[in-house]
Structure 1
Amino acid sequence: MINPKMSNVHFSRLFIRLFFKLLVLTFPAWGILFFTVLMLGVLFSVTEEISFFNSLYFTFITAMTVRYGDITPDTDLGKVLSVCMGIFGIVTTGIIVAIALQALKMAYEKSNKNANREQTTGDRDRRSL
């Protein structure tokens, strides 16, 4: 149970702070994957002869596994690149979700640790009276 004395705003701030701290620490892992997806998008732009911005749009929509269908690959290499974008996107998303869950766990544990410390201090104060 989350510390009832800790407000939702405080817990949310703690979670967000831990989430971004973990994002920075794990940047090499998800950063390489993100960069790879971007490079696949550039290669897709050249292969399919579409604008750079349309290619980036297609890349992120594919990596997030949304795929609206407004842009589709016409060449075999474009289709292979699309599959790679999807796979790298799923892995990148999985890493970021795992980071979020770890930050949530750490925030929960820290709030319980603070609650236990406050409870112990309160018990000691009551015994001294």
Structure 2
Amino acid sequence: MTDFLIFLSRFLRLLHFVRGALGALLLLLGVCALALMWAEGLPLGDALYLTAVTGLTIGYGDIAPASPLGRIACVTAGLIGVVFVGLVVAVATRALAQAVKDNSEGR
């Protein structure tokens, strides 16, 4: 359990370091959701859902954009989502490496 807490501590510290980039990416995803809401006439919840499913590259297909602007917003959300997930994975990888190093040094 202590190993996980060490990892979590490192992870949260590194997330704090990149919070500006993560916040900007989330803001851009919010703009994509608003664009989908406007272009497709979706309720806000459905637009946020479609943005999250697209940004995480899940793509259930239960809601799909029909208009050109909606499709552009979805492609943009997908690209932003890939960067967002990549950044979180990079932070987690770095935190894990630091936790293993700290554990091997006996801290």
Provide the TM-score with structure 1 as the length reference.
0.80
Corresponding residue for residue 96 of structure 1: 88
Matched, 1:13 2:5: yes
Residue type matched to 2:80 in 1? F
Q: Which runs of 5 or more structure 2 residues have no equivalent in the other structure? A: none
Cα RMSD of the aligned pairs, angstroms, is 1.0
List structure 1 runs of 4+ shifted beyond 3 angstroms: none
Matches of 2:22 and 2:85, distance apart in 1 = 9
Identical positions, percent:
29
Matches of 2:24 and 2:30, distance apart in 1 = 10
Corresponding residue for residue 87 of structure 1: 79
Corresponding residue for residue 56 of structure 2: 64
Match of 1:14, SS? helix
Corresponding residue for residue 68 of structure 2: 76
Match of 2:106, SS? helix
Provide the TM-score with structure 2 as the length reference.
0.96
Instruction: Tell which structure's C-alpha radius of gyration is larger.
Output: 1
Corresponding residue for residue 33 of structure 2: 41
Match of 2:66, SS? coil
